[in-house]
């Protein structure tokens, strides 16, 4: 049996840190590898040939030599997951879907995939493997019991190219004891935390160490859900680090009650955890009460964050706006808190109701659910729930303003200074060799700080003082994070209004520069009156002039630079000699790849040598290609 496992392309988000990955970090393509697929691979019979393709770092194979295609993914990957399922199914492969979205709503997939694996896969996946080998796979494998994590195998890390990610991943526990109303974790994994043994973690770390990983993210949703066991694990990790001369820099997700346990905090430091991600959600106690996040009410969250800092551990945090209790004043209150707390990675989302959560049920009861939205992307500027007092337009304006102020040069710098006062002896030391560190600093200065002009240079310098060498790597890291989030916000939150005129005539310039090299009906612009988001489709047919590619690159780059244009390049067929020029054009456009759609005819598939994962590869089925 041959099995191809695919992690679908993730949409751009604050989490993708695309600017940092593309412009600053050497050789990286994405933040985290698909750990779930590596676990599935480890659960697959040894006699099977297994390949993992992560569409976020490599080209998805358009004509794979495989029997089964397995596609994972979270809610935000839903639309790409659907396209991949349809494409590979039309080609005659047996397609299996799993992951968070399929686990929450398996019924959504029954017509799209041949098999749905819903819930944790440790017991169901081996059953599917046995069934398909015997020739009678079922349509649905649903885990309804409790998986003992002690039976979970060491993931096949060897099938991932870890060098392409900024951090490797590992999972210690599943489940969380708390009852936040919006949370889907307790729906999927339950409220009784289950954990792996220290011996399992040792084997996983040994494997990651052999593969050269240095930064490891424990992807638990709450690593301290069972505090006694968490302490035992941290003691084990501290010994492991000592015995191997601290090979790893760790990070994880925890609940804010970590701050009230000094022993736990000391153990996190001893085990070399440089940062923790915490769901703070709101600094307004009434919003926290409304959503059932009572663990954050035990003390002032600002005091809690600063106590974590005092142990040398950085805090990344999630925030939510749009609770029923929230008013327009809440947005400024949130900004003020985030600034005071000095949290650079502050992920603020609009409250959204995920399927099967308590919030979803309440919104349905109250008739406040928007069925047209699924709620999976909470930074999409449109939630799937109706707020009782803030209308949509005002919500979006307030949200944009909040991020505009947070991500200003002054906002980034102020948070660094506020954090540095409390985080005096950070665990985080950069984790890079000297040469890599100098390279990163040089690129940050050249590509991030200097292009911001005198104002940014001024705020950058202010953030360095008082200068303390121990804090310097964190200052650099925070600028990279801040500027990355700003790049995303600029492209996705602050883009020009719909009716922005094309004052410089850039669309006309595109038309003039390339129109003559195409047949009349091969280029199409949907909106020439608005410059905000024109849709440009160019079909590269047989009659294409050879001068098209050199002429097209510059005006198309300018168009993508200065607007929210979406460009679709359809290449059905092409003389052999044109292919390198086409690839050169794509290389020039790669920086805007999230807005470039590439559709290839059957004759071109497999002939492209360029990394297409930087673009949106349109998976149009080619007639007559189905069947293997």
Q: Which DSSP helix (H) or strand (E) runs through 394? A: helix 392-406
Q: Considering beta carbons, is residue 299 or 332 the nearer one to ligand SF4?
A: 299
Of the candidates 95, 131, 102, 135, the residue with the CA atom closest to the CA atom of residue 119: 102
Distance CA 451, CA 442 (A): 13
**Cβ of residue 103: shortest distance to ligand SF4, in angstroms?**
15
The residue from 121, 186, 483, 489 that contacts ligand SF4 (CB under 6 A) is: 186
Segment interacting with ligand SF4 (CB under 6 A) among 47-55, 160-168, 172-180, 263-271: 172-180
Please give the DSSP secondary-structure letter assigned to residue 315. Answer: E
Q: Within positions 360 to 399, which residues make up the interface with ligand SF4, using CB under 6 A?
A: none
The residue from 52, 96, 116, 180 that contacts ligand SF4 (CB under 6 A) is: 180
Of the candidates 480, 391, 382, 467, the residue with the CA atom closest to the CA atom of residue 431: 480
Q: Considering beta carbons, is residue 172 or 178 the nearer one to ligand SF4?
A: 178
Segment interacting with ligand SF4 (CB under 6 A) among 140-148, 183-191, 347-355, 402-410: 183-191
Start-end of H helices in 175-226: 185-189, 198-210
Per-residue interface string for the shown chain with ligand SF4, residues 203-222, x marking contact by CB under 6 A: ------------------xx
The residue from 178, 217, 250, 548 that contacts ligand SF4 (CB under 6 A) is: 178
Q: Considering beta carbons, is residue 87 or 323 the nearer one to ligand SF4?
A: 323
Question: Residue 558, Cα to own-chain centre: how many angstroms?
Answer: 27
Residue 201 makes CB contacts below 8 A (sequence gap 6+) with 170, 172, 233, 236, 237
The residue from 255, 282, 383, 418 that contacts ligand SF4 (CB under 6 A) is: 255
With residues binned 3-state (H G I as helix, E B as strand, rest as coil), the percentages for the chain, rounded to 5, are 45, 15, 40
Task: Using CB under 6 A, count the residues that bind ligand SF4.
Answer: 10
Beta-bridged to residue 194, according to DSSP, are 174
Question: What number of CA atoms fall less than 13 Å from residue 6's CA on the CB side?
Answer: 29
Q: Considering beta carbons, is residue 239 or 362 the nearer one to ligand SF4?
A: 362
Instruction: Determine if residue 74 is left, alpha or beta; phi over 0 gives left, psi from -120 to 50 gives alpha, anything else beta.
Output: beta
Contact 55, 475 (CB under 8 A): no
**Cβ of residue 178: shortest distance to ligand SF4, in angstroms?**
4
Segment interacting with ligand SF4 (CB under 6 A) among 16-24, 122-130, 174-182, 486-494: 174-182
Segment interacting with ligand SF4 (CB under 6 A) among 179-187, 236-244, 326-334, 555-563: 179-187
**Cβ of residue 276: shortest distance to ligand SF4, in angstroms?**
12
Q: Considering beta carbons, is residue 279 or 473 the nearer one to ligand SF4?
A: 279
**Cβ of residue 345: shortest distance to ligand SF4, in angstroms?**
16
480 binds ligand SF4 (CB under 6 A): no
Segment interacting with ligand SF4 (CB under 6 A) among 132-140, 175-183, 261-269, 585-593: 175-183
**Cβ of residue 295: shortest distance to ligand SF4, in angstroms?**
7
Q: Considering beta carbons, is residue 273 or 582 the nearer one to ligand SF4?
A: 273
Residue 241 makes CB contacts below 8 A (sequence gap 6+) with 247, 248, 271, 272
**Cβ of residue 181: shortest distance to ligand SF4, in angstroms?**
9
Segment interacting with ligand SF4 (CB under 6 A) among 109-117, 176-184, 362-370, 432-440: 176-184
- Which stretches of 452-611 are assigned E, i.e. beta strand? 523-525, 535-540, 566-571, 596-600
Contact 318, 280 (CB under 8 A): yes
Start-end of H helices in 407-505: 409-420, 434-443, 453-464, 472-492
Contact 275, 257 (CB under 8 A): no
Q: Within positions 269 to 308, which residues make up the interface with ligand SF4, using CB under 6 A?
A: 279
Distance CA 282, CA 331 (A): 10
Distance CA 256, CA 276 (A): 10
Residue tagged 């996983």 (tokens): 204
Chain residues that interact with ligand SF4, rule: CB under 6 A: 176, 178, 180, 183, 185-186, 221-222, 255, 279
């Amino acid at each position: 049996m041959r099995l191809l496992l695919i992690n679908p392309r993730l949409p751009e988000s604050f989490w993708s840190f695309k600017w940092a990955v593309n412009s600053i970090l050497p050789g990286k393509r994405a933040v985290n590898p698909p750990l779930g697929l590596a676990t599935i691979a480890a659960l697959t019979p040894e006699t099977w040939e297994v390949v993992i393709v992560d569409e976020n770092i490599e080209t998805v194979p358009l004509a794979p030599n495989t029997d089964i295609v397995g596609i994972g993914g979270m809610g935000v990957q839903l639309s790409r997951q659907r396209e991949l399922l349809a494409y590979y199914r039309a080609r005659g492969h047996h397609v299996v879907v799993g992951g968070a979205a399929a686990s929450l709503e398996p019924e959504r997939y029954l017509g799209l995939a041949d098999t749905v694996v819903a819930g944790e896969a440790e017991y169901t996946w081996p059953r599917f493997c046995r069934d398909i080998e015997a020739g009678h796979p079922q349509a649905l494998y649903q885990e309804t019991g409790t998986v003992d994590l002690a039976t979970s195998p060491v993931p096949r890390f060897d099938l991932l190219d870890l060098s392409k990610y900024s951090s490797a991943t590992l999972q210690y526990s599943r489940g969380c004891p708390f009852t936040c109303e919006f949370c889907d974790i307790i729906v999927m994994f339950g409220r009784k935390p289950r954990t792996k043994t220290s011996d399992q973690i040792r084997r996983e770390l040994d494997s990651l160490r052999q593969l050269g990983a240095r930064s490891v993210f424990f992807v638990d949703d709450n690593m301290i859900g069972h505090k006694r066991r968490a302490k035992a694990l941290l003691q084990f990790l501290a010994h492991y680090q000592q015995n191997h001369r601290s090979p790893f820099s760790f990070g994880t997700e925890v609940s804010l009650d970590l701050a009230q346990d000094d022993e736990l905090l000391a153990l996190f430091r001893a085990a070399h955890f440089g940062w923790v991600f915490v769901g703070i959600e709101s600094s307004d106690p009434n919003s926290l009460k409304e959503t059932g996040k009572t663990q954050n009410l035990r003390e002032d969250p600002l005091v809690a964050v600063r106590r974590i800092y005092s142990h040398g551990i950085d805090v990344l945090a999630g925030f939510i706006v749009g609770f029923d209790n929230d008013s327009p004043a809440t947005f400024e209150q949130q900004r003020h808190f985030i600034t005071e707390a000095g949290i650079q990675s502050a992920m603020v989302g609009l409250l959204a109701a995920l399927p099967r959560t308590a919030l979803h049920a309440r919104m349905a009861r109250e008739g406040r659910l928007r069925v047209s939205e699924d709620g999976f992307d909470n930074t999409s500027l449109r939630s799937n729930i109706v707020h009782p007092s803030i209308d949509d337009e005002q919500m979006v304006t307030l949200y944009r303003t909040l991020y505009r102020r947070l991500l200003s040069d002054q906002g980034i710098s102020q948070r660094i200074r506020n954090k540095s006062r409390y985080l005096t002896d950070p665990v985080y030391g950069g984790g890079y060799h000297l040469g890599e560190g100098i390279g990163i600093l040089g690129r940050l200065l050249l590509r991030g700080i200097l292009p911001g002009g005198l104002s940014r240079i001024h705020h950058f310098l202010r953030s360095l003082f008082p200068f303390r060498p121990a804090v310097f790597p964190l200052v650099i890291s925070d600028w990279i994070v801040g500027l990355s989030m700003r790049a995303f916000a600029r492209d996705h939150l602050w883009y020009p209004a719909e009716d922005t005129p094309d004052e410089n005539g850039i669309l006309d310039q595109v038309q003039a520069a390339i129109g003559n090299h195409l047949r009349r009906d091969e280029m199409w612009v949907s909106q020439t009156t608005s410059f905000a988001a024109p849709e440009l489709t160019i079909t590269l047919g047989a009659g294409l002039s050879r001068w098209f590619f050199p002429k097209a690159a510059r005006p198309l780059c300018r168009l993508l630079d200065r607007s929210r244009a979406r460009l679709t390049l359809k290449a059905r067929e092409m003389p052999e000699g044109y292919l390198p020029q086409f690839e050169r054009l794509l290389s020039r456009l790669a920086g805007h790849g999230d807005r470039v759609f590439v559709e290839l005819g059957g004759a071109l598939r497999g002939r492209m040598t360029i990394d297409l994962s930087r673009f949106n590869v349109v998976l149009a089925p080619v007639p007559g290609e189905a069947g293997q």
